[in-house]
Structure 1
Amino acid sequence: MKLNCVAIDDEPLALELLSKFIEQTSFLNLIGKFDNAIEALGFINQNDVQLAFMDIQMPDLSGMELARVLDGKKNSDKTRIIFATAYHQFAIEGYKVEALDYLLKPYSYEDFLNAATKAFTYFERQSQTKTEAAPAESAPDYIFLKVEYQLVKVMLQDIAYVEAYKDYVKVHLLSKPNPLLSLTSLKNMEELLPADKFMRVHRSYIVALDHIDSVAKNVIHVGQNSITVSDNYKEAFLDFMSRWMN
């Protein structure tokens, strides 16, 4: 899946940098760049634009005013916003118009990629929700993870367990000897993984329920690995175990 994007900034150098970052990101498709928010609005109204990267301080029509117009569409297909601005004081106002993220100038490509990945995950979830709502189709059996500077497709059935590791998570797979290291949090992984197949059992671990080999007291065995069920997650796990044994 590629996201159709536009870049909007009245500063030529900033617009070129933003356009360059979009073009070098494999899951983004730059279909327009504008130094004027009014022209951008006309283009967005006539084209399928999923994501707009834009400055806030612009003449005639500001980025915040444009965001309010787009937010007023009030439908699931509306264009989503990522702000790129030098003014941090607009951050709270940006979230009021449901901006997906906020890039503070000067930003690096890594900063840009983090925001873009968040947008990709958002649209992926939207797509999954629509798929789940369709009676003839089943939910996707995979997720995308950011690994270094690319998105990697991971089959859910291949995940044995997920482990927190500093600012990253280690995703342990059945098919690979070494885990995938992804720049995200365990909380984000918990939200991304389906609750009927995965369970958080510790502040540092999520396990795939299908791959639990045995349980002894408060310790889960997944292959050769032992994972302790902490007190905060014991009640939910015991409830799962009671249903498993019936």
Structure 2
Amino acid sequence: MTTLKCIAVDDEPLALKLVETFIDQTPFLQLSASCDNAVEAMSLIREKQPDLVFLDINMPNLTGMELARLLQEQPGQVPKIVFTTAYNHYAIEGYKVNAVDYLLKPFSYEEFLRAANKVLQITEEASNNFQPITADDEFIFLKVEYQWVRISLKEILYIESLKDYVKVHLDDNQKAILSLISLKALEEKLPSAKFMRVHRSFIVSLDKINAISKNSIFIDKTEITVGEQYKETFKTIVDKWLK
């Protein structure tokens, strides 16, 4: 069984202890660290590289929601987040930062386990969702519902992140393909000579770009904004094209 490395973050000692206890009770969870503030949590996440963070929202100095937004903007793999809070009005904000679940205090072990199982399912399905490819391969396989679908790399226009899914947009008016895998996981398997991450929500096929502007890429009739953290890398590619 897959083991998920976890970090627990809560400024209330009793609430933190409860999450630690629940993690210890769950066979597929492993507690890597715990802390009582989001600033320390940021450092621990960088150091420990956890798969899952149980994150309180209402904390001083830096809230859990603010930490989640910062993590979304950082390069590299972002851990799954399950929010824990005493306030139910954060549910929509949690969705915006791709939180897997939202536990309303006081929550039971059954509710905790349900959230943990959801993360486990997403992780296992994503890890089994593709076969390794090399720069010389001309296709990939992605799991779509209950079958593996072969996709030609030459047919991919761009790939869009939709929370825990990716939407692969294809040329020749083919229907887009939806697959349960993170954009980061798929990015690591695509040949970098053919595909580039240009936004936290988009990977583009370099061969399909038909126009560029200062801050945007145009593929077919779609305009894709180049994210701030990707501009320098993309500029390097553009400079080579324009020489």
Distance 1:47 1:15 in 2: 18
Distance 1:31 1:124 in 2: 20
1:194 CA displacement = 3.1
C-alpha offsets along residues 31-63 of structure 1, whole Å, 9 cap, x if unaligned? 101101111111111222111001100011100
1:101 corresponds to 2:101: yes
Letter of the 2:101 partner, please give it.
Answer: D
TM-score by length of 1: 0.54
Aligned to 2:147: 194
Aligned to 2:61: 60
Letter of the 1:105 partner, please give it.
Answer: K
Q: For structure 1, which runs of at least 5 residues remain unmatched after alignment?
A: 140-189, 197-246
Q: CA RMSD in A?
A: 2.5
Instruction: Tell me which of the two structures has the higher relative contact order, counting C-alpha pairs closer than 8 angstroms and 6 or more residues apart.
Output: 2
Distance 2:121 2:74 in 1: 21
1:18 corresponds to 2:19: yes
Distance 1:78 1:108 in 2: 26
Distance 1:119 1:134 in 2: 26
1:171-186 matched pairs, under 5 angstroms: none
Letter of the 1:122 partner, please give it.
Answer: I
Distance 2:11 2:31 in 1: 17
Distance 1:106 1:195 in 2: 41
3-state DSSP of counterpart to 1:132: coil
Aligned to 2:44: 43
1:1-246 matched pairs, under 5 angstroms: 1-73=2-74, 75=76, 77-129=77-129, 131-134=130-133, 191=145, 193-194=146-147
Distance 1:96 1:83 in 2: 12
C-alpha offsets along residues 76-101 of structure 1, whole Å, 9 cap, x if unaligned? x2111100111100000000000010
1:74 CA displacement = 5.4
C-alpha offsets along residues 93-117 of structure 1, whole Å, 9 cap, x if unaligned? 0000000100111111110011000
TM-score by length of 2: 0.55
Distance 2:104 2:54 in 1: 12
Q: For structure 2, which runs of at least 5 residues remain unmatched after alignment?
A: 150-243
Distance 2:94 2:16 in 1: 20
3-state DSSP of counterpart to 1:103: strand
Letter of the 1:55 partner, please give it.
Answer: D
Distance 1:26 1:123 in 2: 16
